[in-house]
A = this chain, B = another copy of it.
Amino acid sequence: MSRTPAGVSRQTVTRAVNDMPGINPGTRERVLAAARELNYHPSRFGRGLVKPSARTLGLVVGDLTNPYYADLAATVLRLAAERGWNVVMAEPGSVADLVGAADAVVGFTGLALEPPGAGAPNLPVVEIDPPRVHPGHGRIEFERLTATRDAVRHLLERGTRRPVVLDAASRSSRGRTFLEAFGEAGVDAVVVDRDTPWADLAELSPDALVAFNDLEGFRLLRELRAHGVDVPGDVRVVGVDGLAVGDFVTPRLSTLAIDLAEVGRAALDLVAELSEGPGRNLTRVVPHRFVVRDST
């Protein structure tokens, strides 16, 4: 008996809306018209409950305005599509909202994940370059030391004696690694805040600047040009991230690059593994490499 507003049964509505065979064309039209009229849209949840549907991957990255995150997202999107996954995106601040919408989570969840949700059996989570270990989560770790040593050696060979490392106030792993590598080489690097303007940097009379990332490196390049400082003649500049756009600026920015396609691939592999059940080897290591361009 139970009738829909169109005066037909639920099954018939299903047939009309899903364009299935075995329905009178007239009936279909009538149902569709009523649906349009009532602004009816079938519920994803009702449908998902009874039809097999694509799994959804939650992707957590910072501001997409930064090509570093955008490039990673592009890779993950592509890999996910290949494997038949949908991708929901969120910034680290909104991870919570995302949990209800995804079957697994990947990305720079960073500090956003504490506390680990009362230990509830949450989704599979793969963290990229995370500040601490969360048991049960997959991890993509960055191996920075080797490439950083390459960069430091390169800088010293070019005559660097007074390097300045620009770092986040909270001291990032990348900053610490540079200090370590300079230290090994017997050079004391000065650390200053990541967004220190050249006007203030100049007082340290540095002959090399390690930017917090490539974007900050571009900023420095621009400021140095504005002040008539020659790069790399007077000051060498190295960035971190390996953005493709670094090839378009002048001078082209030397940088500690990471292969984001490899990061994405490793992350999705771990997701797959975690989806099977608690895995054994939950961490993958991806190395940086030092790319020499024109700014050093």
Binding site for B on A (CB under 8 A): 17-19, 32, 35-36, 39-41, 43-49, 53-54, 56, 63-65, 67, 70-71, 73-74, 77-78, 81, 84, 86-91, 93-94, 97-98, 100-103, 118-124, 218, 221-222, 244-245, 248-250, 276-278
How many chain copies? 2
In the complex, the answer to whether B32 meets A120 with C-beta atoms within 8 Å is: yes
A67 to B49, CA, bound (A): 37
Q: Which residues of B contact A41 (CB under 8 A)?
A: 103, 121-124
A65 to B261, CA, bound (A): 12
A51 to B112, CA, bound (A): 24
Q: Which residues of B contact A40 (CB under 8 A)?
A: 121
In the complex, the answer to whether A277 meets B39 with C-beta atoms within 8 Å is: yes
Least distance between A117 CB and chain B CB atoms (Å) = 8
A32 to B221, CA, bound (A): 54
List 17 extra interface pairs beyond A35-B121, A77-B91, A248-B248, CB under 8 A: A17-B121, A32-B120, A41-B121, A44-B48, A44-B56, A44-B100, A44-B102, A45-B47, A49-B49, A64-B64, A65-B74, A67-B70, A81-B93, A88-B89, A245-B248, A248-B249, A249-B250
In the complex, the answer to whether A90 meets B101 with C-beta atoms within 8 Å is: no
A101 to B87, CA, bound (A): 9
Q: Which residues of B contact A71 (CB under 8 A)?
A: 64-65
Q: Which residues of B contact A91 (CB under 8 A)?
A: 77-78, 81
Q: Which residues of B contact A89 (CB under 8 A)?
A: 73, 77, 87-89
A17 to B99, CA, bound (A): 14
Least distance between A64 CB and chain B CB atoms (Å) = 4
Q: Which residues of B contact A39 (CB under 8 A)?
A: 276-278
In the complex, the answer to whether B98 meets A90 with C-beta atoms within 8 Å is: no
Least distance between A4 CB and chain B CB atoms (Å) = 13
A88 to B76, CA, bound (A): 13
Residue ID in chain B nearest A51 by CB atoms? B100
Residue ID in chain B nearest A71 by CB atoms? B65
Residue ID in chain B nearest A32 by CB atoms? B121
Least distance between A29 CB and chain B CB atoms (Å) = 9
Residue ID in chain B nearest A124 by CB atoms? B41
Least distance between A212 CB and chain B CB atoms (Å) = 16
20 A-B residue pairings within 8 Å (CB atoms)? A17-B121, A32-B120, A32-B121, A39-B278, A40-B121, A44-B102, A45-B45, A53-B100, A67-B70, A70-B70, A73-B73, A81-B94, A86-B88, A87-B88, A87-B89, A218-B248, A222-B248, A248-B248, A249-B249, A250-B250
